[in-house]
Amino acid sequence: MDRKPCDLSSIFYPMLSPLKLLLVAGARPNFMKIAPLIHAIRANNAACNGSGRSIDFRLVHTGQHYDAKMSGVFFQELGIPAPDHDLEVGSGSHAAQTANIMLAFEPVCMSEKPDWVVVVGDVNSTLACTMVAAKLGIPVAHIEAGLRSFDRAMPEELNRLVTDALADLLLTPSADGDDNLRREGVPETKIRRVGNVMIDSLVSQLAEADAVGTLQRLGLQPGRFVYVTLHRPSNVDVRENLKVIVHELACLSEQFTIAFPIHPRTRQRMGEFGLSFDGHPGIRPLEPLGYLDSLNLTRHARFLLTDSGGLQEESTYFRTPCLTLRPNTERPVTLTLGSNRLTSVATLRSDISQLLAAPARIGQAPPLWDGRTAGRIVDELLAG
Ligand code: UD1
């Protein structure tokens, strides 16, 4: 009889029930971290792994991001299935958004009774769902654990600290993450360095990205444009900072075309502060981009100017120089090994001159940023 490998596991491990996971995604940077995990779970189930144990998962979308361009497009491009639970919490103050996610997530935990709640990154959804699960006694696995900017003025830093203090399995992308956790007294037994799961999405989508013709569509020449994204409150919520940034971009646009997909927060603030790019044809203000378009811009830009966490890592993978408009980064390996440099409003011009004097591609990808992190995460969860 023609048996599939899966059938054998039911003979050798008849009592093993599937491991049940509740996967949480809420905001744009979460989706490229959850997608590879879902693909790795499906691969595990198809092969039934060495242990023969399959994984049953439910996907929760908190609705922290809800616009098609901030959420839906990523589900479509990354092959993420429709969420089993759509909490639709929407925007709000930090307290309101976090509390609304907690209220909506608690009954999901109680009805699904998972073996693990799996959270990614550092957004309010990460924090809220971790607190709910921990209080219900459900083990939490945190993907992208241990990152620290040491800047408690950043909401994400508070989210990281609380999440890591409560989580039971801390899956780190790089050695600095392990060191930070040890310093905070996290027992060694909880820490596993698995690599950077976001790079799994990048590696698996490169061919798709090549096929979508982003540069032609936007009228850009490889190496002749700068890819800009800005959304951190410290840059865009402070009138004087945003005014100087807009002025600097206008100057830079004399030399390079600027591709600038504008985050909803930034668009709102530019309106409130009466700022615009009128009269500067070298600047292309765009709607937020999908994942594949963003990969193409990162790969082919002369350099990036950003305050995003994810783009610091993706540019490092492509070796594209990146200026991060922040006083610190929770991703120091992008500075020590990668192509990232910190900049400030005051030093932006001289930092750009320095960057342009250096080779067009610099740095290297850190260890374990190899496209196979999600498989290692699945192994750790199964080892439990
Ligand atoms: C959030 C994360 C940040 C992440 C960023 C990526 C926190 C604390 N912050 O910041 O870490 O880098 O996402 O984008 O979790 N809005 C829309 N449509 C949407 C979502 C938001 O128009 O789909 C608007 C709303 O007016 C909202 C504002 O954007 O008030 C900001 O959204 P919010 O989720 O509060 O924070 P982000 O700045 O996106």
Share of the chain above pLDDT 70, in %: 95
Q: Is 265 in the pocket of ligand 1 (CB under 6 A)?
A: yes
Q: Report the candidate in 199, 146, 123, 192 with the shortest Cα–Cα distance to residue 377.
A: 192
Matching fold, domains 11-196+369-383 and 204-356: yes
Specify the pLDDT at position 64.
98
Assess whether pLDDT exceeds 60 at residue 8. no
Atom in ligand 1 nearest the alpha carbon of residue 159: 8
In three-state form (DSSP H/G/I as H, E/B as E, the rest C), the secondary structure along 81-104 is CCCCEECCCCCCCHHHHHHHHHHH
Class of domain 11-196+369-383: alpha beta
DSSP class per residue in 325-376: ESS--S-THHHHTSSEEEE-TTTHHHHHHHHHHS-SS---PPTT-SS-HHHH
Q: Report the candidate in 221, 171, 213, 162 with the shortest Cα–Cα distance to residue 192.
A: 171
Q: Is 294 in the pocket of ligand 1 (CB under 6 A)?
A: no
Judge contact between 249 and 228, C-beta under 8 A.
yes
Specify the pLDDT at position 327.
97
Q: For residue 51, what pLDDT band results from cuts at 50, 70 and 90?
A: low
Phi/psi for 324 (5° steps) reads: -100, 120
Across the strands, what pairs with 57? 21
Domain 204-356 has CATH 3.40.50.2000: yes
Q: How far is CA 23 from CA 91, 225, 250, 311, 355, in A?
A: 21, 37, 42, 23, 40
Assess whether pLDDT exceeds 70 at residue 6. no
Assess whether pLDDT exceeds 60 at residue 312. yes
Measured in Å, residue 154 CA sits from the centre of ligand 1 at 13
Q: How far apart are CA 8 and CA 4, in angstroms?
A: 8
* Residue nearest to ligand 1 atom 31, measured at CA: 265
Which 3 state secondary structure label does DSSP give 146? coil
Q: For residue 50, what pLDDT band results from cuts at 50, 70 and 90?
A: low
> What confidence tens digit (pLDDT) does each residue in 175-220 have?
999 999 999 999 999 999 999 999 999 999 999 999 999 999 999 9
From the list 65, 231, 263, 300, the catalytic residue is: 231
Assess whether pLDDT exceeds 90 at residue 7. no
Q: 26: which residues sit within 8 A by CB, 6+ positions away? A: 61, 62, 63, 64, 65, 101, 123, 124, 125, 126
Specify the pLDDT at position 12.
55
Atom in ligand 1 nearest the alpha carbon of residue 125: 15
Q: One-letter amino acid identity for 330?
A: E
Give the tokens for residue 151.
């800047």
Residue 231 is a catalytic residue: yes
Measured in Å, residue 319 CA sits from the centre of ligand 1 at 28
Specify the pLDDT at position 2.
43
Task: Give the CB-side neighbour count of residue 266, counting CA atoms within 13 A.
Answer: 26
* Residue nearest to ligand 1 atom 11, measured at CA: 123
Q: How far apart are CA 94 and CA 79, in angstroms?
A: 30
Mean pLDDT of the chain: 95
Burial class of residue 174, CB neighbours in 10 A (0-12, 13-18, 19+) = buried
The full set of domain ranges for the chain reads: 11-196+369-383, 204-356
